[in-house]
Structure 1
Amino acid sequence: MRGDSLGRDRWIDYSRASKALLKLEHLLETPPKERMPCMVLHGDSNIGKTLIVAKFQREHPDHFDDVKGVEHRDVVVMQMPATPDQHRFYTALLFVLGAPHSASASLSVLERLARELLRRMAPRMLVVDEVHHLLAGNYREQRASLNLLKFLANDLKFSIVLVGTADAPLALATDPQIISRFTPFEVPRWRESDDLRRLLGAFEPVLPLRKPSDLMQRSIAQFVLSASDGLTGEISRLLNEAAALAITDGTEHITLEHLKHVANADG
């Protein structure tokens, strides 16, 4: 049973993630104005961006106004369609808003419905994940999608946060106005540092092991860094699989040998 908990997503606090959450909170608290501040949260795949967004969304749950009979959603999170197309964008947005609609409806109908719903729900932030998908489109499609994002930010007076891989800033480079409005915030790969050791130390209490593993020791930190390529998601996977191995063999704590066994099994 203890091993079942290892596959679940768990929030592990670390300094860069905390700074990202503070930045998001600042954007959320910005009062409506003509030029709303926005952000692009970027970093390599599996570095932890989606978990940061999920944590922020949990901290700002939807709430229902019993008097007005309206659901309010402070933070709306959606994914950029794999093909950057305005029709697909509004279809994806309406889906996360829970709005029934016809996929064959015209772009103008989808846009009007989405804007009406957003005004009713009164979100203060729209988060668009996988924004690097913009690069899959041609120049015209990229510009149209970026203009759509600017329009929504201006029309509804909320902040927009774009989330994507290291290529995400490149997706915005075709529009100088977008670049000037969206402040970049990078979640970099880990390197050998006190912050990395603190991250490993933060993992230890949440692993269902009966004995301490001393994950902050230098040899373990160096091996985990090398085997994970500095990716938060890979660090989590390595530790979870090593913990499962330690439960199975009865040692009840993670050793360097457990980690090497897991890493060699991947190879």
Structure 2
Amino acid sequence: MSDHLFDHVRPLLDRSNEERVAYVRAPRWIGHQVAKDSHQRLAELLSRPASLRTQGLMLVGPYANGKTMIAERFAVEHLRTSPEQRIWIVQTREGAGLGHFYASILQGLRAPGGEMWDVGRKAEQLDHLLANLKPRVLIFDEFHNALRGRPRDVEAVFAFLRRIGRQYDISPVLIGEVAIYDFVNATSEMASRFDLMAIPRWQYDESYLMLLDSLEAALPIAKASDLSNEPLARRIFSLSEGLIGEVVTIVTKAAVLAIRSGVERITKAGIDELRHMPISHRRNAALRESLV
């Protein structure tokens, strides 16, 4: 009856419903091929020889498609195996100019001073931290936030990225939306410094169906749901619009419903009961008016 589950998941069927629900809702790593390829590229940045002109990497794709999880997973694995921290993740703040950008990095490096107004003092503090911490890779999540200012502000940010490569041997990794690709490739000089790792929407193909099979095998539900069979797979794909974050959200909510209802399998009727709205429909004018 539980042959559809991974070996380590089967014993969870003996747990209480709430324990199983908690397990279903817990964040989980999905090691699909693009994620594995991204980790390989990040590993190459860590193992590269010293350079005065370091190469960076862009992880670019739509929202809710797993880019941040890819970076965070790699950073965690590095910390587990390395005696020193060589990777730091920076959550890029919204706001134009170097002041906001420096504040993001100071916060990412767990340093005080992110709220001080003097940009020169922030720069001095950053130089001191980078010289002492000696990071090998700086990952800037939601880097598109730094690209919304005046052209001279954006150029100052890119100048900083060039400088930390030359002065501190740091490879920057830029994560976010397609605007990053556009800005980096606006000049040949910056385009030559960054490789692209695309994180595109999923297509309805064998890889997507294998993803559904893996998700089903990881969820402690007693009966097989056959998520990869039509029309269930098509329904999930349509609602998710090919975004892995949405796929996981839909399957997770449907699994919780299956456990709590006692049905013990994910069904099309159960997914319809969720009333999940695709991201592209959430700006629907009629829906918005109904909320006023």
> Structure 1 length normalisation: TM-score?
0.90
CA distance, structure 1, for counterparts of residue 88 and residue 25 of structure 2: 26
| Residues 102, 166 of structure 1: alpha-carbon distance in 2 compared, 3 angstrom cutoff | closer
| Residues 182, 265 of structure 1: alpha-carbon distance in 2 compared, 3 angstrom cutoff | closer
**What aligned pairs does 1:13-92 form with structure 2 within 5 A after superposition?**
13-61=31-79, 72-92=84-104
Q: Give the alignment partner of residue 238 of structure 2, picking from 226, 230, 233.
A: 226
CA deviation string 1:32-88 (max 9, x = no partner)? 1122111110000001101101111111118997xxxxxx42111002221132122
1:203 paired with 2:221, answer: no
CA deviation string 1:187-215 (max 9, x = no partner)? 11111111001111111122131222222
Q: Give the alignment partner of residue 152 of structure 1, picking from 152, 164, 169.
A: 164
Aligned length: 261
Please tell me the residue identity of whatever aligns with 1:39.
L
- The Cα of 1:140 is off from its aligned counterpart by 1.1
User: Does the 8 Å contact 2:106/2:126 carry over to 1?
Assistant: yes
After superposition, the CA RMSD in angstroms is: 2.1
**Secondary structure at the counterpart of residue 192 of structure 1:** coil
1:162 paired with 2:180, answer: no
Match of 1:138 in 2: 150
Please tell me the residue identity of whatever aligns with 1:36.
T
Match of 1:68 in 2: none
Please tell me the residue identity of whatever aligns with 1:16.
V
> Identity percentage over the alignment?
28
Please tell me the residue identity of whatever aligns with 1:35.
R
Please tell me the residue identity of whatever aligns with 2:78.
H
Please tell me the residue identity of whatever aligns with 1:135.
L
> Structure 2 length normalisation: TM-score?
0.83
CA distance, structure 1, for counterparts of residue 173 and residue 152 of structure 2: 22
CA distance, structure 1, for counterparts of residue 132 and residue 216 of structure 2: 44
Runs of 4+ off more than 6 Å = 62-65
| Residues 116, 235 of structure 1: alpha-carbon distance in 2 compared, 3 angstrom cutoff | same
User: Does the 8 Å contact 2:88/2:139 carry over to 1?
Assistant: yes
CA distance, structure 2, for counterparts of residue 62 and residue 118 of structure 1: 22
**What aligned pairs does 1:210-221 form with structure 2 within 5 A after superposition?**
210-221=222-233
Match of 2:205 in 1: 193
User: Does the 8 Å contact 1:84/1:145 carry over to 2?
Assistant: no
Please tell me the residue identity of whatever aligns with 1:249.
S
User: Does the 8 Å contact 2:106/2:114 carry over to 1?
Assistant: no
Residue range with higher mean Cα deviation, 32-41 or 256-265: 256-265
CA distance, structure 2, for counterparts of residue 204 and residue 62 of structure 1: 28
User: Does the 8 Å contact 2:90/2:109 carry over to 1?
Assistant: no
Match of 2:24 in 1: 6
1:183 paired with 2:201, answer: no
Please tell me the residue identity of whatever aligns with 1:193.
D
